Amino acid sequence: MTIYADISSLTVLGWQPGFMQGLLAIDADVQTNLDHAQATPAKSLRLVRVTAVQRTGLQVAPALSSGMDKVPVSGKWFRGAEESRPTVGDWVLVDAQSGALQHILPRRSLVKRLSPSGGGLQLIAANVDAAFIVTSCNTDFSPARLERYLSVVLESGIEPVLILTKSDLTDDVVAYQDELHAQFKNIASFVVNALDEASVLPLLPWCAAGQTIALLGSSGVGKSTLVNTLSGHQVQLTQNTREEDDKGRHTTTNRSLHKLPQGGVILDSPGMRELQIAEAEEGVDLLFADVDELAQMCRFNDCAHQAEPGCAVQQAVTDGDLDPRRLESYGKLKVEESINRESVAQRHSRERQFGKKVKMASADKHRKKALED
């Protein structure tokens, strides 16, 4: 197998040396398969990054040798679990001749949520180093919603950064800022005017060469405006929020990756009106590490932190050492995550069973054809 990869053109797309190990592992695996099927000619593959996912396939960069930046995705990629499908931020190998998707490199991180349409997971972004979680100084501001984003991001091993926008549109920005600091003491946070280049300067350390940033948040909080300001020119369309309720319009309709002048790349995504978490147990525990630590000291291992005797968590609330709202959020997210994780596991089990049936049917078909010949 021959792999074409211009490292200089990949570095500006977020390539890091750590991805090379996954590339070499795929190369070795493919070579082993070729050794067992010597009649199969070796393919020439090109290494590219997924910059957008569209209904008709993937958009990638750098462009293929033919000048095309579109990659078709065959049906085989939709037979397995959602995590096995390509998403924005993935590094992939495509056939240098046909442009067809062949392999996805092992991911360093993956942001996902329970699909709003129900049942499975929805992939948000792959290979992200930092997540800018954006909210605004209006009715969108919700610590409970931010806790959901933070649980998902921490589960993925991604550094979270909280950004409070539209500081120019409120007379009480200090109140929002104080609430942010009170609820999330250990998370980096900034208050910015997304339209002002000077205001976003504190965010530049996360935008350095080789870094990939994901923007997460509701519609209308200024994510696309932030992308434009960090980029130094308009790369995303923007719209005003509705005056009657501060709700945003879905300006961004597809997840897309953009280069930054500082050398990094930033991923903008459509606003999420709901974020149901699944497979984020560790993320919830990391976000509520103080509650989780107290829970370890409860008298009973299965303590529900309600009215059980010897509950260290309830004692901390009584003593004023733990905010009751924080305990309530912890309990809700733990229950939701557990239910959704079980639902996803059941779906994966059904998909595996279906996949086995498809393979058996295909094998039987080939066996019958061989006998007829």
- Averaged confidence pLDDT in the chain: 85
At residue 362 the predicted structure's pLDDT band, cuts being 50, 70 and 90, is low
* Of residues 75 and 360, more confidently modeled: 75
Q: Which residue in this structure is represented by tokens 């569209």?
A: 54
Q: Is the pLDDT of residue 230 over 70?
A: yes
Confidence category of residue 135, pLDDT binned at 50, 70, 90: very high
pLDDT-derived band at 343 (thresholds 50, 70, 90) equals confident
Q: Is the pLDDT of residue 312 over 60?
A: yes
**Average pLDDT value for residue range 70-82:** 86
pLDDT digits (tens, 9 = 90+) for 251-287: 545 788 999 999 999 998 877 877 888 889 999 999 9
Q: How confident is the model at residue 242 (pLDDT cuts 50, 70, 90)?
A: very low
Longest dimension (CA), the chain: 81
Q: Say what the pLDDT of residue 243 is.
A: 47
pTM for the model stands at 0.83
Strand partners, 356: none
pLDDT, tens digit (0-9, with 9 covering 90-100), for 174-208: 999 999 999 998 999 999 999 999 999 999 999 99
Phi and psi based region of residue 76 (left: phi greater than 0; alpha: psi -120 to 50; beta: remaining)? alpha
Cα–Cα separations (whole angstroms), residue 25 to 29, 93, 94, 103, 279? 6, 13, 16, 11, 27
* Nearest one of 191, 187, 121 to 150, comparing CA atoms: 187
State the pLDDT at residue 97. Answer: 84
Domains of the chain: residue spans and CATH: 2-107 (2.40.50), 111-268 (3.40.50.300), 281-354 (1.10.40.50)
Percent of the chain with pLDDT over 90: 53
pLDDT (tens digit per residue) in 92-106: 999 988 889 999 999
Question: What percent of the chain is predicted at pLDDT more than 70?
Answer: 83
Quote the tokens at residue 41. Answer: 């000619």
Long-range contacts of 304-313 (CB under 8 A, 24+ apart): 305/331
pLDDT digit string (tens) for 139-153? 889 999 999 999 999
Rounded distance, CA 333 to CA 322, Å? 17
Query: Alpha carbon 148 to chain centroid distance?
Result: 13
Q: Considering Cα of 169, then 171, then 175, then 177, what sign does the dihedral take?
A: positive
Please give the Cα distance from 373 to 370 (Å, whole number).
5
Distance CA 216, CA 206 (A): 15
Contact 46, 64 (CB under 8 A): yes
d(CA 300, CA 74): 52
Rounded CA-CA distance 281/215 in Å is: 22
Residue 104 is which amino acid? I
The pLDDT of residue 350 is above 50? yes
Q: Which DSSP helix (H) or strand (E) runs through 351?
A: helix 324-372
Read off φ and ψ for residue 36, nearest 5 degrees. -90, -10
Whether the predicted pLDDT of 31 surpasses 50: yes
The pLDDT, as a whole number, for residue 279 is: 86
Instruction: Compare 136 and 5 and report the one with higher pLDDT.
Output: 136
DSSP class of residue 330?
A: H
Look at residue 257 and give its three-state secondary structure: strand
What mean pLDDT comes out for the span 316-333? 94
